[in-house]
Amino acid sequence: GVFMLLHSFLPQRNVLFLHSGCNVGPAGDVTLFLGLSGTGKTTLSNDAARAFIGDDEHCWGPTGVFNIEGGCYAKAINLSPDSQPDIWNAIRFGTLLENVCYDPETREVDYDDASLTENTRACYP
């Protein structure tokens, strides 16, 4: 897929492709949070005291760090206002939900339902 191409193409241009969350502080200090899926990259990169860059895929090269996805791609399994208030409050009409179950009558999402998979996602800008 496209990620395979990026992993091949970008290093030839001195750009490192990273599975990471990222934010920037008031002084321009950039922080990258590296980790596997579900290890807290989204939570850590959404710090109210720092500007959000992205939560999943970044490139680090000679001119700085940039996001290639343009938003958040957060795990949604067992999501609640108590467990992840920043993510919960960011989800609204227009959020793309992936692999989640919902009631077809009320359209209410059941974030605790893992009958399809535990790899559920909420994608929002």
∠ Cα 101 103 109 (to 5°): 50
The mean pLDDT of 63-89, rounded to a whole number, is 90
**How far, in Å, CA of 25 to CA of 31, rounded?**
8
pLDDT of residue 44: 92
Q: Measure Cα distances from 124 to 7, 81, 86 in Å.
A: 25, 16, 12
Query: Does residue 63 surpass a pLDDT of 80?
Result: yes
Residues in the chain, total: 125
Q: What pLDDT, in 10s, does the model give residues 43-61? A: 899 898 999 999 888 999 9
Residue carrying structure tokens 């492709």: 17
Q: What pLDDT, in 10s, does the model give residues 81-102? A: 999 898 899 898 889 999 999 9
